[in-house]
Amino acid sequence: MLTNLSIRDYAVVDALEVDLASGMTCITGETGAGKSIMLDALGLCVGDRADSRAVRPGASRTDISASFDLSENARALAWLAERDLASSDDCILRRTISAEGRSRAYINGTPATLADCAQLGQLLVDIHSQHAHQSLLRRAVQRTLLDAYAGAETLMTSVNETAQRWRVLREEYTRLADRTEEFDARKELLTYQVAELASLNPLPGEITALEVQHKQLTNAAFIIENADHIATGCEAQRDQLAQLVQRANDDRMASSATDNLRELLQSALIQLDEAHAETARFAATVELDPEGLDATEQRLSALYDLARKHRVQPDALATLHDSLQSELETMSGGTEQLAQIKSCAGGHRTRLAQSCDKAIGLATQSRGEARAAGHGHLGPISDVEVPV
């Protein structure tokens, strides 16, 4: 029920505020008194289009608000609650229009679209011209009146909510079902790729280690031969360096001026011995291994081929394996999810059919009561469509 209408700077109206009580209110007056302006202003609150010409000349903007009591309007309360716009049993629609033509709408203080205002407005007011009762010809209005007469508003709200939930589930099921072929193809590809990577089992840092090993095995003969030459050279140089150390240590060479020379020669001899020993240790780790070289080359070749196949760097294969494995694991529940949605949708459809049957029963009873009361002109009850 409309309880208050407040108008500021609209058309020729400077300020107008009307409080309305329950029951029937008649507003009379001569032509041009402003009766239509009130209805036009109310129409703006419920989503009608407007432009800057609606603003009173000399004003910066038009401000219109309409207050409603929804204590007996379950459909409007449900509409507001569904969008988190409910404010007890009251509802305030507000519309502002600037002189530049900018328009804003609010529902209970929250910005809203004109479409929302129009949709809510259909549940709040019915504005029509003389001899043009269009709303009574709309099936939605007829159903609303019949529901109200049968006292089935709460039931119809439940039917509407169940139907909406069922539609959401049906759309989700259709979407997932349409993706089944693509989903299965992707899952099959991932299964193959993960198995292929698992059989090769690339390890982090393996490529670098294999390349070092391959280089050593490839050059094993050269390394062994070169190490022998170095060891032989160290032995030859050691004999000469040992003679130089012996000469420097002769008592006849003893003086403060030769102390540093003796230390340098002795240090060089020690380092030469260490170089000889290091060469021997290194040469001992290198051996001719044709089979090992062949296995290393095959491993490197397999890793490089797989990296080219997946278009990644060879050292990224281990990361790719983990990534594809994780994706495959997330896809494992696709079929179960589809079955779960189908089952849930079936449950909502059953409840919807039961609620519709109950609604038809109430409508039939109300129709009979209306005929008994003398309203024999009532037509047949429209079929309630139950989704399949």
pLDDT digits (tens, 9 = 90+) for 341-386: 777 777 777 777 777 777 677 667 766 665 666 544 444 444 444 3
Q: If we measure between CA atoms, which residue out of 168, 143, 164, 170 comes closest to residue 78? A: 164
pLDDT at residue 363 in the model: 66
pLDDT at residue 113 in the model: 92
pLDDT digits (tens, 9 = 90+) for 4-46: 999 999 988 889 899 998 888 888 888 777 788 888 889 899 9
pLDDT at residue 265 in the model: 83
Low-confidence ranges of the chain (pLDDT < 70): 128-137, 177-181, 289, 332-338, 359, 362-363, 366-388
Task: Answer whether 94's CB lies under 8 Å from 101's CB.
Answer: no
**Domain residue extents for the chain:** 2-127, 193-331
pLDDT at residue 96 in the model: 93
pLDDT at residue 135 in the model: 64
pLDDT at residue 5 in the model: 93
pLDDT at residue 2 in the model: 92
Distance CA 75, CA 52 (A): 33
Distance CA 85, CA 213 (A): 71
Beta bridge partners of 7: 16, 64
Q: What is the dotted CATH code of the domain comprising 2-127?
A: 3.40.50.300
pLDDT at residue 388 in the model: 36
pLDDT at residue 383 in the model: 41
